[in-house]
């Protein structure tokens, strides 16, 4: 038997196994809907979803969406079971991932309908919170995309973001300018990135170890500086926050307007970076060279591309993106610095990058999933859902584990990712 025949046979086995695995997953989610959500409801119960949110802009008001609780849960469960049956018998082929998204959506709808039964749930509010919580995760993910597309693994995003959060607070408080605070956060992010670049590119230190060292350094240094100086000088820990900027006309659109077009500067910067990075990576000469040194640096070198220079530039830009993300935690959100306040969002950003298959748009979409799970656990505590708070707090990290485990398919990194280059 030829190698090609054996490879094709193995691919068919994997494809068939994946088809069955997805079908079983669809089936389990459908069964869970009927087992856990349906028995706790009655035919007379209603669920109200609010479509308006508190905003300073005059938005066209919409009446609340009132749905029959039990009927919605039954319909969501039947859709999941129907998709499971088709997947197990015939398979959706390339549309499997889309169907997975639909099944997960049905499960979420059933869950929210059950959680808010005989109660009101502000749907627009949770969408707004989802975007805000997804912003630092997306920026951390963009940082990873920039670095890893050039072949340098950047585990140090967490440390870069934490350092940026601290520096943005101190500079913003000392100067009284949030814009200078943002520049300070970007600057320290690039400084940490330069350290990572020197260790991993010039001295060829293991990139994972280099990143972990920077994370430990940032955690220890910011905690020491906060306890030594910020606690005794509170005026250095009060920079304020960027206020929301409403885009005229667009911000008045129901639901979409308050969610997308009434945000602070850093959220808008996140959208700008998403489009800019995508364009730069896939439609410019710089992007082609960056991807070349990430896929096959030796071939790129033979064509005259300076591999070290391209990797240095990418890692420094990665630090700048992480600096914007770290600044969001302080001058874009709470207006003060607390020890280890990034709470692993840099690592979740890396998971979003993997989930998004090393693309800016995919990373942003994955960040919304993590942001939604984080937002949901807060909202459910308000609704007094009979689920222990510890499990609710696990939601964003559980979503991270599921994503990294490759539920939506095997994500293939750049071929030379994590491999030091020696000329």
Domain range annotation of the chain: 16-118, 125-404
Paired tokens of 328: 């969001």
Question: According to the model, what pLDDT value does residue 359 have?
Answer: 94
The residues, ordered by sequence, that sit 6+ positions from 154 with a Cβ below 8 Å of its Cβ are 143, 144, 147, 148, 193, 196, 207, 211, 315, 318, 350
d(CA 423, CA 420): 10
| pLDDT tens across the length of the chain (423 residues) | 444 444 444 444 446 677 888 899 899 999 999 999 999 889 899 999 888 776 655 677 788 889 999 999 999 999 999 999 999 998 888 888 788 889 988 998 998 899 888 888 888 888 999 999 999 999 999 999 999 999 999 999 999 999 999 999 999 999 999 999 999 999 999 999 999 999 999 999 999 999 999 999 999 999 999 999 988 888 999 999 999 998 888 888 888 888 999 999 999 999 999 999 999 999 999 999 999 999 999 999 999 999 999 999 999 999 999 999 999 999 999 999 999 999 889 999 998 998 888 999 999 998 998 888 888 877 777 777 777 766 766 766 766 676 666 555 566 889 999 898 887
CA quadruple 78, 80, 82, 88: dihedral, nearest 10: -150
Paired tokens of 194: 């330069």
d(CA 304, CA 263): 44
At residue 246, what are phi and psi to the nearest 5 degrees?
-90, 125
Question: According to the model, what pLDDT value does residue 221 have?
Answer: 95
pTM for the full model? 0.90
Note the CATH architecture for domain 125-404.
Answer: Orthogonal Bundle (1.10)
The residues, ordered by sequence, that sit 6+ positions from 93 with a Cβ below 8 Å of its Cβ are none
DSSP string, 191-243: HHHHHHHIIIIIS---HHHHHHHHHHHHHHHHHHHIIIIITT-GGGG----PP
d(CA 354, CA 409): 11
Scanning the structure block, which residue is given the tokens 């700048």?
A: 320
Query: What angle in degrees, to the nearest 10, is found between the helix axes of 178-197 and 207-225?
Result: 140
Question: According to the model, what pLDDT value does residue 4 have?
Answer: 44
Provide Rg for the chain, Cα atoms: 23
Question: According to the model, what pLDDT value does residue 56 have?
Answer: 59
Mark 181-204 as b/e (b = at least 16 C-beta within 10 Å).
bbbbbbbbbbbbbebbbebbbeee
Question: According to the model, what pLDDT value does residue 300 have?
Answer: 94
d(CA 152, CA 421): 10
Scanning the structure block, which residue is given the tokens 């070198």?
A: 301
- Burial of residue 238 (CB within 10 Å: 0-12, 13-18, 19+) is middle
């Amino acid at each position: 038997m030829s190698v090609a025949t054996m490879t094709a046979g193995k691919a068919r086995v994997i494809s068939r196994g994946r088809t069955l695995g997805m079908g079983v997953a669809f089936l389990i989610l459908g069964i869970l809907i009927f087992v856990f959500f349906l028995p706790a409801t009655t035919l007379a119960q209603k669920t109200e979803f609010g479509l308006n949110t508190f905003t300073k802009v005059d938005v066209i008001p919409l009446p609340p969406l009132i749905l029959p609780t039990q009927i919605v849960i039954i319909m969501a469960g039947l859709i999941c079971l129907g998709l499971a049956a088709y997947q197990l018998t015939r398979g959706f082929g390339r549309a499997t991932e889309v169907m997975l998204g639909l099944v997960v959506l049905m499960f979420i709808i059933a869950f929210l309908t059950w959680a808010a039964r005989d109660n009101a749930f502000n749907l627009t509010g949770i969408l707004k919170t989802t975007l805000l919580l997804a912003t630092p995760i997306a920026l951390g993910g963009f940082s990873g995309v920039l670095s890893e597309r050039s072949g340098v693994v950047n585990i140090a995003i967490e440390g870069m973001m934490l350092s940026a959060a601290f520096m943005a607070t101190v500079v913003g408080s000392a100067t009284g300018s949030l814009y200078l605070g943002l520049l300070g956060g970007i600057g320290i992010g690039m400084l940490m990135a330069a350290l990572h670049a020197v260790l991993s590119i010039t001295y060829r230190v293991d990139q994972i170890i280099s990143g972990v060292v920077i994370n430990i350094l940032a955690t220890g240094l910011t905690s020491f500086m906060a306890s030594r100086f910020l606690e005794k000088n509170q005026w250095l820990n009060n920079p304020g926050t960027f206020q929301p900027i409403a885009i005229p006309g667009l911000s008045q659109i129901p639901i979409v307007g308050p969610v997308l077009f009434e945000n602070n500067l850093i959220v808008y910067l996140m959208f700008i970076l998403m489009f800019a990075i995508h364009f730069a990576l896939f439609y410019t000469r710089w992007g082609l060279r960056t991807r070349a040194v990430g896929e096959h640096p030796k071939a790129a070198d033979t064509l005259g591309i300076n591999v070290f220079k391209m990797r240095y530039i990418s890692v420094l830009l990665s630090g700048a993106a992480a600096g914007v993300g770290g600044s969001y935690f302080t001058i874009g959100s709470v207006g003060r610095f607390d020890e280890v306040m990034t709470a692993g969002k840099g690592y979740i950003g890396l998971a979003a990058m993997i989930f998004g298959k090393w693309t800016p748009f995919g990373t942003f979409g994955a960040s919304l999933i993590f942001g939604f799970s984080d937002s949901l656990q807060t909202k459910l505590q308000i609704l007094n859902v009979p689920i222990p708070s510890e499990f609710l707090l696990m939601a964003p990290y559980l979503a991270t584990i599921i994503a990294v485990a490759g539920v939506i398919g095997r994500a293939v990194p750049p071929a030379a990712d994590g491999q030091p280059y020696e000329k």
